[in-house]
Chain A
Amino acid sequence: MNQFQYVRPAQVPGATKAITNGANTQFLAGGTNLIDLMKMGVVAPEKLVDINNLPLKKIEGNAGGISIGALASNTEVAEHPLIKANYPLLALAINAGASPQLRNMATVGGNLMQRTRCPYFFDTAMPCNKRMPGSGCGALEGYNRMHALFGASDKCIAVNPSDMNVALTALDATVHVSGVKGKRAIKISDFHRLPGQHPELDNTLQKGELITSVDLPASPFNKNVHYLKVRDRTSYAFALVSAAVALNIENNTIQGARLAMGGVAHKPWRLTETEAFLKGKPVSLDVFKQAAQIAMQGAKAYEHNKFKLTLAPNTLLQALKTASGLKA
């Protein structure tokens, strides 16, 4: 690993100043993504700003919703009584990711920011527009089994690897950030971006901005939820495809639905049209099958990920069935 400067500020302003001043500077939270990338030579920051001493660990209920500190560990979030009671979808998604050891280390801020697992991004001998803009996309005509179905570009077909982000997207989270220019709140749907011509940008965070918390609004989606993750082994692997489903069902009628898929796009893929279709419909296999088809509109596969065109709607269908309790 390259050498770097190390600073450990105790307060948020110190952290945002420290990051703004340096050219190639990064925040260090749990380290489970950043240290890995540094060992691989994918990134080589000249300075790390260790944010672990900042007072950003609290998880607390607020006017109807909840505020999750950026430094709360993935385990702390998934095990928190308020999360389990009011946002079980988030707990399910987090627990479907990584391993217990990694979830103990991984933070909410770091998870939001984690980089893609595209093998061309990780292999510094390969072209990758995300790692080295202008070098080309190795995956486009290469081994693209893990790659996107939606919203990709000719510059990048990588996917966002996070499970937590899929649930946060379905649950309409807001990301609170703080920078030297002040604070702002970013809707989760505007936080991660599609690759377009600039795949080197994973999200809309500005240089120097620190994620301070992730807030969730009050949610009626605490009962009929499911997170279904399909991967190459039963546990401890990234998603090929995942589906986060939250339904508000009254008298067998779907009052509202919140749906998102993982492993299919450069950002967690919210299914707004499918949600609109489901609203007011009865819980039935036929309705869910139609919903799964609507969700796939606009999907485009590459040479090695064509199986996802079948896997994705099937995953969503199964998640809808499990969340609603529909047998058959």
Chain B
Amino acid sequence: MSELIVKNLQVSVVTDAGTKEILRGVDLTVRSGETHAIMGPNGSGKSTLAYSIAGHPKYTVTGGSVTLDGADVLEMSVDERAKAGLFLAMQYPVEVPGVSVSNFLRTAVTAIRGEAPKVRTWVGEVKAAMASLNMDTAFSERNVNEGFSGGEKKRHEILQMELLRPKIAILDETDSGLDVDALRIVSEGVNRVKSNSDLGVMLITHYTRILRYLKPDFVHVFANGKIVEAGGPELADKLEEQGYAAYTSA
């Protein structure tokens, strides 16, 4: 049983025009097995929340705390956070020229598990995970995210999540840019990991359509750098009908 607790998190970013405050006190707790949907308009700070928890150096935490099972996440380096059990599926996965997917996956898994995976079982493990995400095994020999389509990048993110077995995963608009089939395949991947591992999920999304496949236990409305309303799945239906206007007019 794991627990990610975000308390009164305040984050700013330094721009050419000066310091810009983005997160204005976010409170959120995600436990193993739970799925939290974070829904909000573009520019409200959802990705900033995700990046801040993962430790992106561009974002400065100016107040509040983030803990995973009592350990201070904000004190950890980026890789330590991943080793502690956090995973971020990025909205815009980064291309890494010259580094093959297979080398990347093996290096990451070795770092997270603390030992190199056994050659025999490893190849099978990767193949099976790729097959279930409908990814051609030829992807192993390609460079990380280089020349991948939007959908392929998102599948590759979920592939990593399957292999790295995190405790809590943050999925930042994993649904955006996916056609219906890809959305179903990716969602099934997340559900498979959940049923195998009691994963806690923070599902950041702009639209409700992914919630047909990934049933949230909690829905949070995010606007202007904080959570402005929280409820159960029914809140998503309300958003579907009414949009975010009521939350952004202020």
Q: Do A and B bind each other?
A: no
